[in-house]
Copies of this chain bind each other. A is one copy, B any other.
Amino acid sequence: MKFSVIVEVTGLDGIADPEGQTIERALPALGFEGVEHVRVGKVVRFDLEAHDEDAARATSEELCRRLLANPVIEQAEVSLAPAGQAR
């Protein structure tokens, strides 16, 4: 069975996010008001062949631990759906 997986990797709370801060500082000069708490992260999408949804989730989470995220400074959130179904 094929799954579409989306992994969102963001900095842990308390970890500096210079890209987000830079965006936030740039906004008033562009005329945008009322935007705050800008945080920038990474998103990884892939297709995964797995037996069932539990297996797909387990594989995706191991993938995060071993390759996609650095658990010292980042958290990873996995969401998945059978391929072909939009999130």
Which residues from chain B contact A68 at a C-beta distance below 8 Å? 23
Number of contacting residues on A, CB 8 A? 33
Q: Taking CB as reference atom, which chain B residue is nearest A46?
A: B38
Instruction: Determine if B37 and A44 form an interchain contact, defined as CB atoms under 8 angstroms apart.
Output: no
A53 within 8 A of B: no
Instruction: Determine if B47 and A35 form an interchain contact, defined as CB atoms under 8 angstroms apart.
Output: yes
Bound Cα distance A58, B10 (Å): 25
Binary contact track A14-25/B, C-beta < 8 Å → 1, others 0:
000000100110
A34 within 8 A of B: yes
A12 within 8 A of B: no
A41 within 8 A of B: yes
